[in-house]
Structure 1
Amino acid sequence: MLELGETSVAFEPETLQNGQSGNVTQNFFDDVNLKICTVRNNGSLGITAKSLAVNDVISARTKDRGPPGLMKLSPNGKLAILQRQVNSVDIVLLEKTDGATAIEFNVPTKSRDMILSVDWISNNQILFVTKQSLELFGLNEDKRTAKVLRTSNVSASWSIYYAKSSLVVVATGSNCTTLQPFLAQHGQFTRLKNFDVEFGTPSNENLLEKDVTVTSLYGKICVMVLRYSVRGATTTDLLIYELPADLNTAAKMKYSLTLGCSGGFGIHVIDNLIVVHHQGIAKSMIFDVALSPNRPTHSPLITVSIRPSPVCQPPPALYVPLWSMFQPDIVVDPVAGMMYQLTICCNRAHEEIHEKAMLIEFLIHRTGQKQLVLDTLLTSLKAKELRLRQIRKLFDLIVEKFSLSAGVHSNGPESSKPQLQPIPVQHLRIEQREMQSSIFIPLMEDPSTDSKFVADVMLQYLRSLHRWSVPVEAYFLELVVEALAQSGEMAKLHQLVTYRVISDSKPLAFLLLSYEARCPSLFQSGVDILARQKACDEIVEVLLERGHVIDAMRYLDTQQIEANSLKLLDAAKQQDRIVQYAVLTHIINRKSKGEFILV
């Protein structure tokens, strides 16, 4: 189910200086732009940045000013940071040269303290994290200068930057267990509430940066921390702390994911699935917290081994000790000189998840799996592998996702207030017409499917639409009526109409009238709907077509409507002489009052 290498890119492996060529190659991963950056001979032989996208390559040359400790590109790819000194960085203008090499300028920290990390906030802003402060600099590319915009004092041991929200999480405290989040937005810092995390090791050890991951999970910013058992340093679980939208509220632990093994771990968050890789057992554990959102403790939903993608030749080595993993789905093999993308093959989920209701719910939460959801749901319904309560839950989820998707597309003005900005959830959007064409009509046309079961399934979907206040389309109502009629569930149909579970409409009224022979009470229900729709002419036509001429005349009298005398007379011709006499007398009496038209 996990596949590595469907998309990949090769880069030059790292080499140390040797006596023959004297060349040195260094590689750095830019975790914001998802590019592998290669620096050859300190930049004198060139710097290159590659992503997994085809032909996405940035190249330049710089002067040799010493070996860099890191390289990071600006969001637009026009500038690069090279850190060659402990308290300053060089800004490289990749598209501007002074002949053979790119133009660059140096930016030192204001405090002259050692740099713990440096990141791009925007195309012209960088953020320094030092041991004593945060420093936000604005860059002027034309003047090749930098200006301090903001500083904030904080005692830091290490930090993690989450670019989507311009969020930096700083580790403080004696054991680095107090995490202090900051937002670097709109040219200023916003200090969020700090929070303490558990990581389970003895008091003389510190929480390490490698054991902490900041990610977006189902529309929430989360901090994930590997917690170790004090005895024997056995990893017991992965704690997930959720940062609330209210910036004045501290993060709280939301979930605990049980791992149950020790050793080296790597973590990815792909399509809101938490994938924990264990190098020792060469297995990967997949967690989906959405399947039980109110449960604090979760066990792996699936435990599988990564498979090499058939399109990647030669096949990649798997679970090698030197793998480096980056969010959301990047695996870098520095020895092989390859960067791979890890993908989740949802079309093979049925091989690992055998309980059908859970399988379909899992697929509903995935991005871009509409057709797979519909196909799996139809197959399960035809095989009667789902109970009615499970069908109800799945339909509730489908309609809920449809309702939520309607609000995602509204692009309001960007707020000037600092706020957390998680990755928006792409809710599965299945229209009613798609449910009809892909689920309900095939069920009705399948001769092996019980008609009462089909009717019950459609009623469950109707119930879900009402629960989430989604307007029911007329064509689906016709299908419901037809399914109930085919299954002989006339009593249910009559109740739906009587209690107005089915919305009134003229097409529905005429459909009910057509089932009068099977259930006489539906005739009156159809007429009542027409009356509520104020369709007086249609009511008269219905009564006359069925030979209820006297009833039609009475209805005209009660509604005080001008009657068409020719229609009444034509209808009376089909009746006995008593009815004909009554109609004629009635017409003469009302004609004298000028209430009839002779058209």
Structure 2
Amino acid sequence: MNFSGETLDSEYSVSCKKNSNILGFVWSHLNELAIVTDHGIELYTVIPAKKSLKQLKTMSATVQWFVWCPVNKIALLASAHGSQLQPVIIKPGSTTKLAKVDTEQGRMSLERDVTISTLYGIPAVLILRHQSGPQTAEVHVHLLNGPGQAPVKSHVLKLGLSGRFAINIVDDLILVHHQASRSSQVFDIALPGESDGTVKYHVAIAPAKSFKTTAIILPGIVEPQAHICELYSPNWVVFQPDIVIDAKLGCLWHIDICLAELCTQIRDLSLCTQVALKRTNGKTVLLDLLLSTISQPKPPLDKLQESFNHINFVYRDWAENELQSQLASLPSAPLTNTKLVQPRVLIDQNCMFEEIFQKINTENDLRKTEWILISYMSSLSEFGITAQHNMNKLLVMTLAKQQKFTALQQMVQYGVISDSKPLAVFLLSLGNMHPSTTQLALDMLSRLDAREEIQEVLLSENQVLAALKLAQDNAQPRKFLNAAQNAEDDNLLHSVLYYFLNNPQFSVKLKKEERLISYINEYNARFGNYNT
């Protein structure tokens, strides 16, 4: 049918092959129509201007029913009472058969028990299997990621229930609805599970829970009335990925997951972190969860360590990919079409510092703050991530306030606290609290090969000769002579001036520059004339 605005302009039709029964049709692409019959697929292009359809392709196959995935443009054709499932990709102007889904020999499947959708960007076929014993229903997940997109049975979801089920996919979480118990279970195939080497077995990540009650407003004799909708009704029909229709009420709903509520149902912090990291809006929920856990009187440090590891695993991979992307963008680099994909949840050090460590009360419980900081920064070190200055400074301050300077030395020695010039300067400022911090700063500057900064530190400590030895031929005579003069030590002034006067690199400059002649005059006055 052609429409002009809201008016029907014309209509036309097409007939399928002789002796074929139409099972359904789908709009595969713009102006392309795929008609599925019991003899296969007929692909047509619609030509509105000519009010006709042109056949593009036919594919022969025995079909009893089919399931369609509009996202991946894949039709799953069932034959032999559902024991044979044939995926077909419908591309513009063509169809391509993939390898058949490897189902159990002779095991039949009903249309309502088969779902085709997308999980973490990969097309997937989900088959509900009712086992012979009680409470043994399973969902077998076949991912189309084998050679040539061949389906591979990769996961099994253990439902622990029997009866009638329906499946939706929301934010890559598999929701299995159970009619008898009026509840839904949530599964995530990205989480670890028991494995037999080829297949992972998963249980629900949280206890089964029912949907939130919903109501529709109906007109009444006096005033509108709210009608409570029956949940998990026999009249429900589900469509992928997240649609539920009540055919009797004529209502359509989209399913949404309240991640914060789901996380309260997951007792394991590490597991909850993994779930939140893979959700579209998981960042705020995860940060709130971490903050509330850390704020407990006795937070579970082992579980926090695991959570930090999961967070920094994502952080490290993203940082490495970003670095590779920057290198690939250099003029000398070969052209590449690789696009940097931002993870769904990225929590970097700035985020942790601003949203977690700046919000906890560090003064009231320095020891707890110390352990949480060490736990987080140890995780950074484990993944080869250099800690930023703000994190290092906070840990140094926390240790210094507790007078734990031996622990501070060990943290620096083993690389938990990263070397940096700003941190070395901060350590120098703590010299009045403990003399070891000055040496820590000097050692750090030495590892950074920061000779200029070390000279300044030594000069400020009146270690003029040590600074001069470090500077050697790069010394600035006026700076060192001024420091020696301010020290009010005749022997020191003599040693410094004697060094410059007897060094050919400096002696000529010393005698010609007016600002330096005064030092020679003072030398002559104190120690006698210097003979050139």
Query: With structure 1 as the length reference, what TM-score do the two structures score?
Result: 0.72
Aligned-partner Cα distance in 1 for 2:449–2:342: 44
Return the letter of the residue paired with 1:291.
L
- Summarize the alignment of residues 209-358 of structure 1 with structure 2, pairs less than 5 Å apart: 209-230=111-132, 236-244=137-145, 246-247=147-148, 250-293=150-193, 295=195, 296-300=200-204, 301-309=206-214, 313-349=226-262, 351-358=264-271
Alpha carbons of 1:235 and 1:128: their partners in 2 closer, same or farther (altered >3 Å)? Answer: farther
Higher strand share: 1
Query: In 2, Cα distance between the equivalents of 1:353 and 1:403?
Result: 26
Could you tell me how far 1:462 is from its partner in structure 2?
Answer: 2.6
Select the residue among 438, 441, 455 that pairs with 1:526: 441
Q: Quickly say closer, same or farther: Cα 1:471–1:238, change in 2 above 3 A.
A: same
**Counterpart residue number, 2:101:** 195
188-197 or 464-473, larger mean C-alpha shift: 464-473
Q: Does 1:577 align with 2:483?
A: no
1:93 aligns with 2:6: no
1:54 alignment counterpart: none
What is the aligned residue count? 482
Q: What is the CA distance between 1:322 and its match in structure 2?
A: 0.7
AA matched with 1:588: L
Aligned mates of 2:487, 2:385 — CA distance in 1? 46
Code of the residue aligned with 1:184 in structure 2: it is I
Match of 2:77 in 1: 170
Distance in 2, matches of 1:325 and 1:317, equals: 15
Q: Which residue of 2 aligns with 1:370?
A: 283
**Contact kept? 1:138, 1:148, Cα under 8 Å:** yes
* Structure 2 residue identity aligned to 1:93: N
What secondary structure is seen at the aligned counterpart in 1 of 2:71?
helix
Residue by residue over 1:498-531, the C-alpha shift from the partner in whole angstroms, topping out at 9 and shown as x without a partner, is 4555544321221232334555454344334434
- Residue 450 of structure 2 is aligned with which of 535, 541, 547? 535
**How far apart, in 2, do the equivalents of 1:438 and 1:478 lie?**
17
Cα distance in 1 for residues equivalent to 2:480 and 2:255: 74
Alpha carbons 2:374, 2:416 under 8 Å: kept: no
Q: 1:353 to 1:532 in 2, by over 3 A?
A: closer
Shift of 1:349: 2.9
Mapped contact 1:356–1:385 kept (Cα < 8 A): no
Once the two structures are superposed, residues 408-434 of structure 1 have per-residue CA deviations (whole angstroms, 9 ceiling, x without a partner) of: 9x9x9xxxxxxxxxxx99621223211
The residue identity in structure 1 corresponding to 2:184 is S
The AA in structure 2 aligned to 1:304 is: K
Report the alpha carbon displacement of residue 94 of structure 1 after superposing the two structures with TM. Answer: 3.7
CA distance in 1, matches of 2:377, 2:368: 14
Q: Which one-letter code corresponds to 1:108 in the other structure?
A: S
- Give the conservation status (yes or no) of the 8 Å contact 1:403–1:468: yes
Give the Å deviation of 1:151: 2.5
Corresponding position of 1:153: 60
Partner of 2:459: 544
For residues 20 and 430 of structure 2, the distance between their equivalents in structure 1, rounded to whole angstroms, comes to: 85
1:465 equivalent to 2:372? Answer: no
Contact 1:572–1:580 at 8 Å: present in 2 too? yes
**Aligned residue identity for 2:154:** K
In the other structure, the counterpart of 2:223 is none
Tell me, in whole angstroms, the C-alpha distance in 1 between the residues paired with 2:65 and 2:386: 52
Partners of 2:371 and 2:510 in 1: how far apart? 50
Q: Is contact 1:562-1:595 (8 Å) kept?
A: no
Question: Matches of 2:241 and 2:91 in 1, distance apart?
Answer: 23
Note closer, same or farther for the CA distance 1:376–1:351 as it changes in structure 2 (3 Å cut). closer
**CA 224–404 in structure 1, closer or farther in 2 if over 3 Å, else same:** farther
Given that 2:411 and 2:417 are in contact with CA atoms closer than 8 Å, whether structure 1 keeps it comes out as yes
Distance 1:228 1:566 in 2: 87
User: Deviation of residue 96 (structure 1)?
Assistant: 5.5
Q: Match of 2:260, SS?
A: helix
Q: Confirm or deny that 1:509 pairs with 2:409.
A: no
Distance 1:538 1:225 in 2: 67
Paired residues of 1:516 and 1:523 also in contact (CA < 8 A)? yes
* 2:358 equivalent among 429, 441, 449: 441
Query: How far apart are the structure 2 equivalents of 1:145 and 1:402?
Result: 55
Q: Which amino acid aligns with 1:330?
A: I
Structure with higher helix content: 2
- Does the residue aligned with 2:254 lie in a helix, a strand or coil? strand
Partner of 2:91: 185
Residue 166 and residue 288 in structure 1: after superposition, are their counterparts in 2 closer, same or farther (change >3 A)?
A: same
CA distance in 2, matches of 1:355, 1:400: 19
- 1:134 and 2:2 correspond: no
**How far 1:111 sits from its partner (Å)?**
6.0
Name the structure, 1 or 2, with higher relative contact order (CA <8 Å, separation 6+). Answer: 1
Q: Which amino acid aligns with 1:189?
A: T
- CA–CA distance in structure 2, aligned partners of residues 518 and 302 of structure 1: 53
CA distance in 2, matches of 1:388, 1:156: 57
Query: Are the structure 2 counterparts of residues 112 and 384 from structure 1 closer, same or farther at C-alpha, using a change threshold of 3 Å?
Result: farther
Q: Which digits, 9 at most, give the CA deviation of each residue in 1:92-115, with x for residues without a partner?
A: 234457xx5242221333566222
Query: Does structure 1 retain, via aligned residues, the 8 Å contact 2:399–2:405?
Result: yes
| Residues 195 and 324 of structure 1: CA distance in aligned 2, closer, same or farther (over 3 Å) | closer
Aligned-pair Cα RMSD in Å = 3.2
Q: Is the 8 A contact 2:3 2:9 kept in 1?
A: yes
Alpha-carbon distance in structure 1 between the residues aligned to 2:379 and 2:50 = 61
Counterpart residue identity of residue 185, structure 2: M
Percent identity among equivalent residues?
Answer: 28
Partners of 1:270 and 1:405 lie apart in 2 by 24
Alpha-carbon distance between aligned partners in 1 of 2:389 and 2:216, rounded to the nearest angstrom: 47
Residues 120 and 127, structure 1, Cα contact 8 Å, conserved in 2: yes
| Whole-angstrom CA distance in 1 between matches of 2:397 and 2:481 | 33
- SS of aligned partner of 1:398: helix
Structure 1 segments unaligned to the other structure (5+ residues)? 1-91, 413-423
1:274 & 1:542 partners in 2: Cα distance?
A: 61
1:453 matches 2:372: no
Contact 1:515–1:523 under 8 Å retained in 2: yes
1:138 CA drift (Å): 2.0
Cα distance between partner residues in 1 of 2:193 and 2:463: 60
Tell me, yes or no, if the aligned pair for 2:114 and 2:128 is still in contact at 8 Å.
yes
Counterpart position of 1:38:
none
Measured after TM superposition, the shift of residue 191 of structure 1 is 2.1
Amino acid across the alignment from 1:219: G
Larger Rg over CA atoms: 2
SS at match of 1:197: coil
Contact 2:20–2:38 (Cα < 8 Å) also in 1: yes
Deviation at 1:534, TM superposition (A): 4.5
